[in-house]
Amino acid sequence: MSQAFNHRHLYYFWVVAKEGSMSRAAETLDMAVQTVSAQVRELERDLGCQLLRPAGRGLALTEAGTVAMQQAEQIFQLSQALPEQVLAAAQAPAARLAVGIADGLPKLEVQRLLQPVLGVPHLRLVCDDGEMADLLADLVLHKLDVVLTDHPAPPNAQLRVHSHSLGASDIGWYGSEKWWTLAHQGFPLSMRDVPMLLPTSHSVVRGQLDRWLHQKGLRPKVVGEIEDSALLETFGSTGLGVFPAAMDIAEALQKRSQVRLIGACDGVQEHYYAISTERKVMHPLVQQMLRPASAR
């Protein structure tokens, strides 16, 4: 048996099976009966079995022919739908946005910052997270349209990039029900009685948190220093300790991780930036992301 078969032969067989005879199929195809018959015999030779048998004045499917007909139906139905689907895709091109997300930027904040574009029709969103230096290199090479981060791009004469403010969020303390019960009453002095999870010194907000704790006269019981904000949230949600996070995402955070807001870190804020290669952003989706911040 041949390892492949001619799809044109399969098409002729399909028409014959639908029409029920060689003569009616030949009329439909506008071909000679002998030509159609020869094409079907070629298919049978390729497949190594008989597909049609005489039945009265017409033809009927053999058992193998029934299987071949079922497969042919699927193939040619898909073929008939192909032009319409391709044309629809061509007439509605995707709006593509490639975003770099700096390590440590809370994922709930990323979702909030991208919210202005998430409803754009035919959006194709490509997200890549990693080290700031790698993301900026990809931005300069136009592999990314924008980089989201919690600090402006560092000064570098070789990297012509521009930082655009996306606003800021106040920081608050969150904890599981157990720690919320202990810390909510008498906040912030009550924070000395609960275990605390903090971001590492690599985080921009860590220095502000240390100053806040010092100003409040608190010597925290630090049980963990965690760089990744998602991991910080995960450990906090399991009750390992209270942890800091943006207050802009309080509702989403409380629903997702079953934690409660204990109190605000007055004066402590996390800032957000969109970094592009243009001082005046031209990408329409990046412009849409920046619009809420410029309206404030």
Whether residue 296 lies inside any domain: the answer is: no
Q: Residue 283: is its pLDDT beyond 60?
A: yes
Query: Where does a domain end: 62, 90, 118?
Result: 90
110 in a structural domain = yes
pTM to 2 decimals? 0.66
- Quick check: is 1 in a domain? no
Residue range(s) defining the domain that contains residue 85: 7-90
Q: Per the structure, how many domains does the chain have?
A: 3
The CA dihedral of 258, 262, 267, 271, to the nearest 10 degrees, is 0
Residue 2, domain member (yes or no): no
**Both tokens assigned to 122:** 């035919």
Q: Of 56, 90, 124, at which residue does a domain stop?
A: 90
Instruction: Give 83 or 99, the one with higher predicted confidence.
Output: 99
Same domain, 99 and 111: yes
What's the CATH number where 226 sits?
3.40.190.10
| Residue 82 pLDDT > 90 | no
Backbone angles phi, psi at 53, to 5 degrees: -140, 150
Shared-domain flag, residues 255 and 240: yes
Pairing type for strands 162-175 and 243-246 reads antiparallel
Say if residue 83 is in the same domain as residue 109: no
Average pLDDT value over all residues in the chain: 90
Task: Tell me the β-bridge partners of 147.
Answer: 100, 275
pLDDT tens figures, 229-280 = 889 999 999 999 999 999 999 999 999 999 999 999 999 999 999 999 988 8
* Count of Cβ atoms closer than 10 Å to residue 184 Cβ: 15
Q: Are residues 120 and 53 in the same domain?
A: no
pLDDT at 180: 96
Q: Note whether 136 and 163 are within 8 A (CB).
A: no
For CA atoms 130, 133, 134, 136, the dihedral sign is positive
Same domain membership, residue 133 and residue 278 = yes
For residue 241, being part of any structural domain is answered with yes
pLDDT for res 1? 40
Q: CB within 8 A of 136, min separation 6: which ones?
A: 147, 153, 159, 161, 275
CA dihedral over 80, 82, 83, 88, signed as positive or negative: positive
**Whole-angstrom distance, CA of residue 271 vs CA of residue 169:** 7
Please tell me whether residue 67 adopts helix, strand or coil conformation: helix
Separation CA 26–CA 19 (nearest Å)? 9
In tens, the pLDDT along 145-186 reads 999 999 898 887 677 899 999 999 999 999 999 999 999 999
The residues facing 101 across adjacent strands are 129, 148
If asked whether residues 105 and 140 sit together in one domain, one would say yes
Domain end marker among 90, 122, 139: 90
pLDDT in the model for residue 57: 85
Q: Is residue 179 part of a domain?
A: yes
CA atoms within 13 A on the CB side of 6: 13
In a domain, 295, yes or no: no
